[in-house]
Chains A and B, each alone.
Chain A
Amino acid sequence: MTRAKPARLGPGAVAIGVLAMLGSALLGILVGSAGLGVGDVVLALLDGLPFVELNHGLTDIELSVLYEIRLPRVALGAIVGAVLAGAGAAYQGVFRNPLADPYLLGVAAGAGLGATVAFAWLGDGDLVPILAFVGGLGSVALTYMLGRSVGGRSVTSLILAGVAVAAFATAVQTFVLQRNVETLREVYSWILGRLTTVGWNEVLGLLPYAVVSLAVIFASRRLLDVLSLGDEEALALGVTVSRVRAVVVIAATLATAAAVAASGLIGFVGIIVPHTVRLLFGWSYRIIVPLSILFGAAFLMTADIAARTLVAPAELPIGVVTAFLGAPFFVLVLRTMRGPE
């Protein structure tokens, strides 16, 4: 008799994800203007562990390049990538829409507006993270309320509300920019996305939000599969759909807003990564959520290597790299979708 074994995340898939992550992390640490040898770097990293004493050939300057410049940047890329991909998977599950991501729901546009206001009106770069955060959360709340008031529980009305909110936020942002052209350059460098770090500040600021939010999303992965039956059937199975949706959306939005505040607007990660995982490893969110987190980290670290090397010694904004890959991918997804569900 064929036993009913549920769709599970295989150890092989996890191993591939972990290897991809470690590989791109190591590559990310090695690539840069100050050439560090791979053996020395590995030895130096192991030497940094407690109770381990190893001889490595790095000078003090090279060590501080490693610990204060390369590592924080790679770590920020990993966390931002994991958050954007994990949040994308969560939005897609909760809204049953393969194209749902932070952009569609207005989070990114709202955060962009907040940042622009900080730069242009308040002239204070330090306020950028806070106002981006407020703008992102505000937009999602507005999207949610608009969607509910227009179409009740309908998913389509929510997405359309997100488009309207994003368009409005972008319009206000453009207006603010036109009135303050002298800040254009600064704002655009942020809007295009960047993984610049000052020591470990950005990483430590983002880490708590990322850990808590991803833990909540991870814990909800089984219920995301139940939601794929539609709201009514999930309700009839005893799932409090509105509560699950609210919890997951708040977690995903919190993490996204924190990531946007730390690194600007980096698009398409939330679509590219979960979709590739779904195609390669399976339909279940028990598989998609954890693997999207691993591969999201690997993807953004790799994209950052491209951003740093393609036009060296200059740097491409990382948002340009991801958009370059993501826009064609988006079209591909649209083409393979079998019409609206």
Chain B
Amino acid sequence: MITWQSVEVVFGTARVLGPISIHVSDGEWVGLIGPNGSGKSTLLRTALGLVEHSGTVSFSNGGGNSGTAAAWMPQRPRLPEAMGVADYVMLGRTPHIGYLGAESRRDVARVDDAMTTLAINELAHRPLSTLSGGEAQRTVLARALAQESRVLLLDEPTASLDIGHAIDVLEVVDRLRHDEGLTVITAVHDLTLAGRFADRLILLGDGVVHADGQVRDVLTEENLSAHYGTGVRVVHDDAGPVVIPSRSKR
């Protein structure tokens, strides 16, 4: 469980987020949608203590930003080029290792598990600079899984992936959510994809919540055209809403 209570972020005189109050239950998958600059990333970063904010963000397990409460997959992760994949995933174990400590056998086992889950075992000793976009994305997600946090905060986890790899990665996340009861919050640009995986969507615009609820209630032409402009149509298939671009008539 994670709760944002009257959270507000102000840079100088500009309010970039809030006031926002959101409650996400255990095991829920929430998709954050909204145009560029609407505050999706900032909202995730408040939960990690990375931006100064008023109000509170609390986790049910009491953790703040200790690294065990939530695992974060940043939008643009920094990948030190010479570092190997296994070493990188091992950095996810940092919150479990003391200042003077070293990796235990358990840490090595968790890293192996995470790499197996994402099918990157063969890459274990490859330098990060040699990975393709999809391999890098799965490696970063493996690091987040190795952290063993109950909450996954994924900022554009499919940004550099083709549609097939994007679905693969999100299926892995969904399986973990069901198997291990993780709570997942993702910021996703692809609205249809967001709707296919999330239980619930939150539409942000100019830093505040404009719609919050079931996928079919949020992904409406009315909501989307108000925030993304007019060139958007929504049709429905068996699995729910499909968002398609349609150029406005001239």
Contact = CB atoms under 8 A, between A and B. Distances in A.
Interface in B163-178: none
A282 B84 CA distance: 10
B108 A5 contact: yes
B108 A238 contact: no
Given A235-B65, A239-B67, A3 B112 contact: yes
Interface string A206-247: 000000000000011011011011101111111100000000
Given A4-B89, A225-B83, A238-B95, 7 more contacts: A1-B116, A228-B78, A228-B83, A232-B48, A236-B74, A238-B66, A238-B67
B87 A2 contact: no
A267 B41 CA distance: 44
Contact of A226 (B86, B94, B103): B94
Contacts of A197: none
Interface in B60-107: 65-68, 70-72, 74, 77-78, 80-84, 86-87, 89-92, 94-95, 97, 99-100, 102-103
A3 B107 CA distance: 12
A98 to B, nearest CB: 12
Interface stretch (B21-29, B118-126, B194-202): B118-126
Contact of B112 (A1, A220, A229, A235): A1
Interface in A235-274: 235-239
Given A219-B100, A232-B74, A6 B112 contact: no
Contacts of B91: 225-226, 229, 237
Contact of A235 (B50, B99, B100): B50
A283 interface: yes
A139 interface: no
Nearest to B140: A233
A238 B148 CA distance: 13
Contact of A3 (B48, B68, B74, B124): B124
Closest CB pairs A-B (n = 9): A238-B67, A283-B82, A4-B86, A238-B95, A4-B111, A2-B124, A237-B94, A230-B78, A236-B72
A151 B66 CA distance: 25
Given A2-B124, A6-B86, A236 B67 contact: yes
A232 B84 contact: no
A238 B82 contact: no
Interface residues of A, number: 29
A2 B122 contact: yes
A95 B124 CA distance: 27
Nearest to A235: B50
A341 B49 CA distance: 24
Given A1-B121, A222-B97, A222-B102, A7 B78 contact: no
B98 to A, nearest CB: 10
A238 B95 CA distance: 6
Given A2-B122, A229-B78, A283-B80, A237 B92 contact: yes
A151 to B, nearest CB: 15
B185 interface: no
Contacts of A225: 83, 87, 91
Contacts of B95: 237-238
Interface string B118-136: 0001101100000000000
Contact of B124 (A4, A220, A338): A4
18 contacts: A1-B121, A3-B108, A226-B91, A226-B94, A228-B80, A228-B83, A233-B78, A234-B94, A235-B48, A235-B50, A235-B65, A236-B65, A236-B67, A236-B71, A237-B95, A239-B67, A239-B94, A284-B87
Contact of B84 (A7, A219, A226, A238): A7
B2 interface: no
Nearest to A225: B91
Interface string B10-36: 000000000000000000000000000
Contact of A6 (B45, B70, B87, B116): B87
